[in-house]
Amino acid sequence: MRIQLKIWRQENRATPGQLANYDLTDVNPDMSFLEMLDTLNERLVRQRERPVEFDHDCREGICGQCGVMINGRAHGPLPNTTTCQLHMRSFKDGDIIYVEPFRATAFPVKCDLKVDRSAFDRIIQAGGFTSASTGGAPEANSMLIGHDVAEAAFDAAACIGCGACVATCKNSSAALFTAAKITHLALLPQGKIESRQRVRRMVRQMDTEGFGHCSNTEACQVECPQQISVLHIARMNWEYNRALF
């Protein structure tokens, strides 16, 4: 396959970036999208040019480190798929592909396609935990949790923190990410006790980081690799209102 790439190149946070053109003539449809970028980078290195910096690690869809905008869509054309799980057979011979970083005020570009998502860590630091110190835990089966409750908590806990929800949102809102953690812990008896304090702190931190508000377009749910439901955002709002009184 022949693929023409237009990739965002930016030296560092302070310098402006621009799209650069690359032409790949020998792309195998079985390559993953990231392996296609590897191939480009190998060529660039051999030409003594600086390769394209992009984030990636596990390459099996679970670590949440990879993530770029591909033709304007977070993680590319397939719904609910991380960038590393996208393969070139999803494109056609001769396609032009635009590759850009996840863009949001709270995710500044570090270099090329790498962005700083540490704001997510700070949202979790604000309250995304149960205050269970090591050593004091009671016998696990002393706390019964219904199958459906555990499954619902899991659905929310499955978030991999990739940031596609923010990148795809026209308001750059982190509502889906924040809500997923709030729901996960609020549903479980061991997390319920701190839920009021948690929701207030995490929402405050989300606002402080410069993420926008949720205006219910539900775009985030379409791109989320873990198919986290926007209903969690409704629950976050409910928990928040409840916590105010």
Partner 1 sequence: MLNARTPEGPLEEKWRHYRSTAKLVSSANRGKLHVIVVGTGLAGSSLAASLGEMGYRVTCFCFQDTARRAHSVAAQGGVNACKNYKNDGDTIFRMFYDTIKGGDFRSREANVYRLAECSANLIDQAVAQGVPFAREYSGYLSNRSFGGVQVSRTFYARGQTGQQLLLGAYQALMRQVAAGTVMLFPRHEMLDLVVIDGKARGVIVRDMDSGAIERHGGHAVVLATGGFGKIYYLSTLAMGCNGSAIWRAHRRGAFFANPSWTQIHPTCLPQSGDYQSKLTLMSESLRNDGRIWVPKKQADDRAPNDIPELDRDYYLERRYPAFGNLSPRDISSRAAKERIDAGFGIGPLKNAVYLDFSRAIREQGKPKIEEKYGNLFRMYQKITGVDAYREPMRISPAAHFSMGGLWVDYELMTTIPGLYALGEANFADHGANRLGANSLLQACVDGYFIAPSTLPNYLANEIKSGPVAVEHPAFVEGETTVRRQLEHLMGIQGNLPADYFHKMLGLILYDKCGLSRSQAGLKEAIVEIDSLRTQFYADLLIPGGANLNSELEKAGRVADYLELGELMCYDALTRNESCGAHFREEYQTPDGEALRNDQDFAFTSAWEWAGAGREPILHKEPLVFECVTPAVRSYK
Positions in 27-66 near partner 1 (CB under 8 A): 28, 30-32, 34-35, 38-39, 42, 44-46, 48-51, 53, 55-65
Position 170 contacts partner 1 (CB under 8 A): no
Least distance to partner 1, CB of residue 131, Å? 7
Least distance to partner 1, CB of residue 7, Å? 15
Q: CB nearer to partner 1: give 204 or 213.
A: 204
Q: CB nearer to partner 1: give 21 or 142.
A: 142
Position 111 contacts partner 1 (CB under 8 A): yes
For residues 104 and 173, give the distance between their C-alpha atoms in angstroms, rounded to a whole number.
9
- The strand pairing partners of 32, in sequence order, are 87
Among 105, 125, 208, 215, binds partner 1 (CB under 8 A): 125
Q: What tokens were used for 59? A: 């390459």
Give 27's DSSP letter: -
Tell the burial category of 116 from Cβ atoms under 10 Å away from its Cβ (0-12, 13-18, 19+): exposed
Bridge-based pairing of strands 3-9 and 96-100 is parallel
Amino acid sitting at position 144:
L
Least distance to partner 1, CB of residue 245, Å? 25
Q: What tokens were used for 176? A: 């889906």
Q: CB nearer to partner 1: give 69 or 119.
A: 119
